Structure 1
Amino acid sequence: MEIYNTEEQQIEAIKRFFREHGLSMVAGIVIGLGGLYGFRFYQAKQLEAQQAQSAAYAVLVDKAAAEGADKKAWLVDAQKFIADHKDSNYSHLTALMAAKEAVVLKDYAAAELQLSAVAAASKVPEVVAVAQLRLARVQAEQAKYKEALATLAATMPAAFAAQQNELKGDVLLKSGDETAALSAYKAAQAVTEVGKNPLLDVKLNELAHVAG
């Protein structure tokens, strides 16, 4: 199943944000909690916990990328990490990875569960949007077109508008509604730079008979 490069770039940007700003975010929360000693102790504990999570997450990433990796065994490890670090940003990123590996194994139901959980739990709009787009693809792969369209009806950051509308067109086309698919593709084209998505142009050309 296709995963757009732009989504991967967005995820990388999110990872960099957490690495660069995670500690300052924690510091902002705890400043008002007490005296300098208490703050430093709390900060040290938070730093220790974050470093441990980061290290464990890095191990998972390396294992997933290893040649000949046992994907099923990796998914078990990933699920344990998600459970151990529930509702953390690293757990959400791990769930996105787990969903991707589940798709490789054609376990779409498992992928759907992971992506639904991220979409419901993450507080980062960009992470939620990536989860929703991938969830809609997984739902469409299972011919759950109504569910996929409902997922795509969610409000997403403006940067995702082109992907959102193009995917909506793909789902509508699969469901047999060419007219609505053409409208969705045109909406995607309206927010896409000329020449940036030749595949979208192909899709529009293939539906030229509908416009006629």
Structure 2
Amino acid sequence: MNGFTGELIGTAILIVFGVGCGANSNLKGAYGKGSSWLYLCLCWGFAVAFGVYAAGQFGADGHLNPAITLGFAAFGFFPWSKVGAYLLGQFIGAFIGALIVIIQYWPHFQIAKGKDDGNVINIFATAPAIRNPLFNFLGELIATFTFTFVLLNLGDFTQGLKPLVVGFLITVVGQGLGGTTGFALNPARDLSPRLAYALLPIPNKTSADWAYAWVPIFGPIVGGILAGGLQYLLH
């Protein structure tokens, strides 16, 4: 239960800050509308860092990400007995985080009349800069592989300053590899907020783009597992 609770709380914090930055940079009337890519990468970096800190305080390992949990477990770096609780906490936490952002920005959704006013799925989930399913999938795979491999070599990344190191790692992954797909890196971070956008009665919303949703689910999972495999071979 500690793992479930920690992953739920940590992932909810991750989404509140990360998706909140997306809403601030997109929605009509928000002070941050039109913010830069660097702003978004830093926001997501710090969102992950503070989510990891919180998860660690509740006894979790601070994965906040099914790709990390599965990638670690596939080669013995994390016990399979905990995987179910971690995944459940991550997906539920991400949905709760998205719900909180919807409440926070409700008046802005009310005046944002669709795509032209920034009321788009990009607030909640990722979308490709150039739609090419094969290369979008490879982009998510490569970005998540790189991220996961570094995490595997950080040891316990919930302690001391290491969550901030993870945050800066997210930022540089976004800056270097995220310009093609928006660097989901995380199936829960993408799927649960996308589901919240699709299911909840948000005013003036546009398409949730379910045709693309498989890319930020399976690309990160494959990338995480491959990183775990390489770590296993090297050690």
TM-score normalised by the chain length of structure 1 = 0.27
Specify which structure has the bigger relative contact order, considering alpha-carbon pairs within 8 angstroms and separated by 6 or more residues.
Answer: 2
Larger Rg computed on CA atoms:
1
Say which structure is richer in helix. 1
**TM-score, scaled to structure 2:** 0.25
